[in-house]
Structure 1
Amino acid sequence: MVVFGVSTGALVVFALIGVALVLFVSEVIPNDVTAIGIVVALAALEPWTGVGARGAISGFANTATVTIVAMYMLSAGIGQTGLVQRLGIRLAGFARGSETRALAATIGTTGPIAGFINNTPVVAVFIPMITDLAKESGVSPSKLLLPLSYAAILGGTLTLIGTSTNLLASEFTATLLDRGPIGMFEFTGLGVVVLAVGLAYLMTVGRWLTPARIPADADLVEEFGLEEYLTTVRVPAGSPAVGLGLGELDDRTESPVTPLQLRRNGEAFLAVETDQRLQAGDVLVVNGAREAVNRFLKRQGLDRVPRGEVTEETFADAPSADRLGRAVVPETSAYVGETLSEARLATFHGMQVLAIRREGELIRTGLHEVELAAGDLLLVQTTPESTEYFADGDDLFVLDEDALDRLEASDSDGGKGVDAVPPLSPKTPVAVAIMGGVVGLAAFDVLPIVIAALGGVFAMIVTGCLSSADAYDAVSWNVIFLLAGVIPLGLAMEETGGAALIAETLVATATILPLVAVLLLFSVVTGLLANVITPVATIVLMIPVAVDAAARLDASGFSFLLVVTFASATSFMTPVGYQTNLMVYGPGGYRFTDFLRVGAPLQFLLAVVTTLGVVWIWGL
């Protein structure tokens, strides 16, 4: 059946894509869950979509999917060597005192690294050090963190393994074009140009456009606007609170006031961990709105301490191990969608959340009922033990605020102090050699990239560079399910003629535009989509369309495919376009419009550079 020249099958697939786009943008349900729904819908509607059960789950067996799983694991093996951490700390030490040097060192290092290992852990390591470096240099952290993320994205264009979209493009190249997969370094020349242009932009125009949202000299209490929420109180003789444990005190408190720290005779105790009972003369640091604290004081018979100002140093100088820190909620976190009450961070991990920064707004009251969202920046009272616990998973990125201090300790005592920079793993040479072997075998076509990558994972595990548990934990399974779920959409578009229909519409622009302008149009449209519905979903939808359009225009299908690949891999205009953007969103104090202001010129500049570069190297 055909309706207005469009087959029923194509209409059904377009309807599925429309629903998927709405769900991707609104995130009413997680994107990976949406992808699973796509798989089910495609198979259930096989008479119209042309995709049966085997085709619907083909994304899980796709070589790109398997390769990406392996690359996550290989990146974890490299990450455990400590190379990235030491490099970041050394760079911070080198660039201290100069904004220009700090910016150049940050983006000039992050970009090349991201061409070979997953950029998420690289950015996670760099964020706290760059933040600390910025403050010590008298520069707003906001001026460095957005360029950090953008440089990590740009680096993904350097090699085939730089991003998941590159690997997907290679798979499409083998299936849709009359040629083999893309080589490891086949587009590296253009990638170097894109990286160079992007870094030059970030050092000049981007530097001017990037706002200074967080004051350079603000401590964490000021940064989160908690001056009016943290109060120091004393327990006088005769107070009904004398003899109570802090947990009992909290339970007896009707108003939302949370004790954080108990101080007694020069000692400090973390409120969520101590079993100390209150005595006359004890001093408490509590968190709550002024009106709530006043009611709390009256109910418990406590006194406010005159000039008892609470700052970050109140926690940093305490003999106890608790301190203030920041934690980012990644997309992969199990806490996304849970309230803080349900997450029970204080109960299980001794971590108290004091405030949340979300999309430029600060949440400081009613925290227990706030549902956590990807990209949230949490101000937490934490301990070294909880920081270490979360460092081994992907539920929270707890930013290591003491990295530069450890560097100074290491330098002052020859690296022998207890607080020194941790030494490299003895397995470092082996892990680096394995990663180099994977790249070399794939680059010289000795083995397909998927087999080389799996062989690298096997080698890392059997040599002890990586445990099997850590290997599985390193994979962002939500990304893998998203990838596997949207791949069949491309198959459905091909089967029903939907890709040809969209291509025909875009090809019509060739009647008024030169061919190179049509190629540029594909780059712009792809880039805009990638900023909204994720790069993975975009490349699956756009590559079949681009290849079909090239055939209709008697142009190079490979050139059109490469333009779409580069455009989908470089999404700068929204915080949700790429995971690293989301990671710096909170720590930089950015607003949504900041990404548009800084990223839009870069996006369109690179669209032009990429289009001209592809035409120059591969032709039309």
Structure 2
Amino acid sequence: MCHRASPWFTSHCNVPLILAGKQGRARPREASTAQSHPLPPPALPGRSLVALALTPEMILVLGLVGFTMLMLVLEWIRADMVALLVVVVIGLTGLIPSDRVFNGFAGNAVIAIIAIMIMGAGLDRAGVLSLTASFVMRMARGKESRLGVVINSVTSLFSAVIPSQALAALMIPVTSRLSARTGVPISRLLLPMGFCILTATNTTLIANSPLIVLNDLIASANANLPPGAHTIPKFGLFSVTPVGLVLALLGIGYFWLFARKLLPEREDERLKVTPGRTESYFAETYGIGGETAELTVTAESPLVGMSIGEVEQLHGAPLILAIKSGNDARMAPPVDYVIWVGSVLGVLAPREEISRFANNQLCKVSPRMRQLGELFNPTRAGISEAVLPPSSRFLKQSVGDLRLRKRYGISVLAVNRGDQVFRDDVRGVSLRAGDTLVLHSSWRDLALATEDKDLVVVTDIPKEEQRPGKIWQAVGFFLLAKCLALFTHLDLSVAMMTGAIGMLLTGVLNMDEAYKAVNWKTIFVTACLIPLGWSMDATGTAAWLAQEVLNHLGGASPWILQTCLAVLTLLFSQVMSNVGATVMMVPIAISVAVATGGNPSAYALIVAVSSSNTFLLSSGHPALMMVAGPGGYRGKDFLRVGVPLTLAMLVATLVMINLLFR
């Protein structure tokens, strides 16, 4: 195979390329003769390569790569802001033509990801996930070993068609419901579920962002091939399915065999969170104990004229969950809401503290909820848990700044972060990804607050299926999109958008819901990092890096080269987005393959698949960050479970791809 004119590697070789998918053998371009010079040792027999010098353009690209990695790790700047900054610098410095700088936004990968997010929301809105919970219950029959296998199998199946983060948000409440109904600790279900999302995400090109981006990176590489070189074929929708199926089965089998030995032994009280027993659960877990009562403010009370925020600052003040003034009754009154004579406060605290506070503030106590009973009806309101996903707009803001009471009618009672529980001065806590919030609200207000995907509710709360009558339309258009991608020559973006538009036209979703279903942060990061991969390709940076790799490992076997690329990719993806790791490593992998006579398709696929091999840290992937808090997992839990699985996935990936692309 030939690849690149100066300053890229060139060679007088013609290595046949094993093609993936349904495209067949690519036609070679018109042949031409190219000057070549020997590469410093180790030289390969029958091969001559141009030795590349480091240019200012390459240094700039390497600087951008280093800056991107550093900012994504340290999180000093938002990931989408970093990506936008990088793409603007690429345009200003002319690393790629200015008319291509923002082509990532119109790329096949980005449009396909948007359509897939919309279809995933449509499936959820139609009640597919609720039906899934019922199906899992019937299949598991309440047995822990069987329940884990069924949940992991169903999750793996959905992971092939729904993006990882969206699937985690959909499956966490389902798993919580199953845990509550069966009595199996949720800490023994969530981590395997999260890991199986990642082991099965490589089954198709439908839901895996690195695999979708891979085709755009291959197209960029093909655009710079010299005359006479064979083009690298794009991957079809199910080209990677044999590899993905093995990895998915490996994940399911791993937890079936070793779950009891590797998962935490503690019997976490989170397993039984239901609206009927919230008081005992939250008292045991967060120290939010006591009883609900009504306090009626008398004319002599010093509370008259004070705001809710001022009352909460008083010594021994209970949690104020609701208020009724005149005929106006509301949950989670905002801090600036003023208390008047006759106001009725719905409070939560131990009985002795309520009585002491009432005596000091000259209020009448009623242990029975007479006037606020409807607001505290467990079928309408209660205490719940919600986790902050990495894409939440609430990150790095304090609870007080969010003004959740005024905006949504939600009171934040506590914040759980790993082994820390913040109960005092909750309003001053700055929120991070993976934090679990303890909330009190009406279920309706909570549902409205979660529509923007800033919160993912963990507790099994009463929730009606929103559009169960549209389930056949949702499933039908989803299957239509898959068939168009599989049996026609349409691009993946066109096929997937057809399914999304079908759901919109038939009322499965409306346009506002479709906009909310799209994780725009992910879209901007993906669209803006794609040009970084193009610039690595166009300036020869990837080829120079490949040359440096070969200077040290040129005499090594292809297995060692592939292992090094896979390990580097999975290490990068632990600390930055898997899309970013793919964008940076695929051009290098293709250059290494060309320089050593390997199959570029195989090397590129190894990188893309390895970017999902992120099991060592809870911060390694958004789906894992979302299960860490609700499951009560610690860093050592991820290492104990993740290290063996990472090694097994690495070996399986290399073996299967080399068998598939021999």
TM-score range, shorter chain: 0.7 to 0.9
User: Within 5 A, what are the aligned runs for 1:85-104?
Assistant: 85-92=130-137, 94-95=139-140, 97-104=142-149
Give the Cα–Cα distance (whole angstroms) in 2 for the partners of residues 352 and 515 of structure 1.
58
Q: Distance in 2 between matches of 1:593 and 1:315?
A: 45
Pairing partner for 1:583 from 626, 630, 654 = 626
In the TM superposition, residue 600 of structure 1 has moved relative to its aligned partner by 2.3
**Could you say which residue in structure 1 is the equivalent of 2:380?**
321
Alignment of 1:327-366 (within 5 A): 327-366=386-425
Post-superposition shift, 1:56?
2.6
SS of aligned partner of 1:576: helix
In the alignment, the residues of structure 2 paired with residue 118 and residue 174 of structure 1 have an alpha-carbon distance, to the nearest angstrom, of: 23
Structure 2 distance, partners of 1:206, 1:42, is 47
Match in the other structure for 2:286: 225
Q: Tell me if structure 1 keeps the 8 A contact 2:331–2:410.
A: no
- Consecutive unaligned residues of structure 1, counting only runs of 5 or more, are 309-313, 407-420
Question: Contact (CA 8 Å) 2:297, 2:341: kept in 1 or not?
Answer: no
Structure 1 residue 565: deviation in Å? 1.2
* Alpha-carbon spacing, 1:483–1:242, altered in 2? closer, same or farther (3 Å): same
Aligned-partner Cα distance in 1 for 2:297–2:242? 75
* 1:80 Cα offset (Å): 2.0
Shift in Å at residue 270 of structure 1? 4.1
Which residue does 2:214 correspond to in 1? 169
Q: Distance in 1 between matches of 2:234 and 2:390?
A: 30
| 1:93/1:127 CA distance change after superposition, 3 Å | farther
SS for the counterpart of 2:348 is strand
Aligned to 1:495: 538
1:453 paired to 2:496:
yes
Provide the residue aligned with 2:68 in structure 1: 20
Write out aligned runs for 1:520-535 (5 A): 520-535=563-578
For 1:617, the equivalent position in structure 2 comes to 660
- The secondary structure found in structure 1 opposite 2:452 is coil
State the superposition RMSD in angstroms. Answer: 3.5
Question: Who is 2:240 aligned against?
Answer: 187
Matched to 1:545, the amino acid is I
1:159 counterpart residue number? 204
Q: 119, 126, 130: which is aligned to 1:81?
A: 126
Q: Which residue of 2 aligns with 1:131?
A: 176
Deviation for aligned residue 1:315: 12
Q: 2:441 aligns with which of 375, 382, 395?
A: 382
C-alpha deviation, 1:153, in angstroms: 1.7
Which residue does the alignment assign to 2:451? Answer: 392
C-alpha separation in 1, matches of 2:639 and 2:379: 43
Report the Cα offset of residue 423 of structure 1: 7.8
Aligned to 1:401: 460
1:115 is matched with 160
Output the CA distance in 1 between the equivalents of 2:520 and 2:62: 27
Indicate the residue corresponding to 1:284 in structure 2: 347
Structure 2 unmatched runs, 5+: 1-6, 8-51, 223-230, 274-279, 368-372
Q: Which one has a bigger Cα radius of gyration?
A: 2
User: Corresponding residue for 1:518?
Assistant: 561
Contact preservation (8 Å) 1:83, 1:424: no
- The structural deviation recorded for 1:340 is 1.5
Note if contact 2:254-2:645 (Cα within 8 Å) is conserved in structure 1: yes
Matched position secondary structure for 1:375: coil
In the alignment, what sits opposite 1:417?
none
Instruction: Give the number of aligned pairs.
Output: 584
Alpha carbons of structure 1 residues 253 and 153: separation in structure 2 relative to 1, 3 Å: closer
1:73 and 1:471 in contact (8 A); partners too? yes
Counterpart in the other structure of 2:614: 571
Q: 1:536 aligns with which of 579, 603, 621?
A: 579
Q: 1:86 to 1:501 in 2, by over 3 A?
A: same
Q: Which amino acid aligns with 1:31?
A: A
After TM superposition, list the pairs within 5 Å mapping 1:249-268 onto structure 2.
250-255=309-314, 257=317, 258-260=319-321
- The percentage of counterpart residues that share the same residue type is 25
Structure 2 Cα separation of the partners of residues 502 and 294 of structure 1: 72
* Paired letter, 1:139: V
Counterpart Cα distance in 2 of 1:131 and 1:469: 28
Query: For 1:241, which of 301, 323, 344 is the aligned residue?
Result: 301
Which position in structure 2 is the counterpart of 1:409?
none
CA distance in 1, matches of 2:300, 2:388: 39
Task: For 2:180 and 2:514, locate their aligned partners in 1 and report how far apart those are by CA, in whole Å.
Answer: 35
TM-score by length of 2: 0.80
In structure 2, do the counterparts of structure 1 residues 301 and 317 end up closer, same or farther at CA, with 3 Å as the change threshold? closer
Gap change, CA 1:327 and 1:365, over 3 Å in 2: same
Paired with 1:137 and 1:436, the residues of 2 have a C-alpha distance of 32
- What is the distance in 2 between the residues matched to 1:562 and 1:337? 36
Deviations along 1:392-434, one digit per CA (max 9) or x if unpaired, are 321212235136xx8xxxxxxxxxxxxxx63863332222222
Secondary structure (helix, strand or coil) at the match of 2:136 reads helix
| Cα displacement (A) at 1:549 | 0.4
Cα–Cα, structure 1 residues 34 and 212, in superposed 2: closer, same or farther, change >3 Å? farther
Matched residue type, 1:564: V
Does structure 1 retain, via aligned residues, the 8 Å contact 2:177–2:460?
yes
Residue 443 of structure 2 aligns with an amino acid whose one-letter code is P
Contact residue 104 and residue 527 of structure 2 kept, 8 A:
yes
* SS at structure 1 position matched to 2:437: strand
Structure 1 length as normaliser, TM-score?
A: 0.85
Deviation at 1:574, TM superposition (A): 2.0
Matched, 1:205 2:258: yes
Alpha carbons of 1:494 and 1:423: their partners in 2 closer, same or farther (altered >3 Å)? closer
**Which residue does the alignment assign to 1:463?**
506
Residue in structure 1 matched with residue 225 of structure 2 by the alignment: none
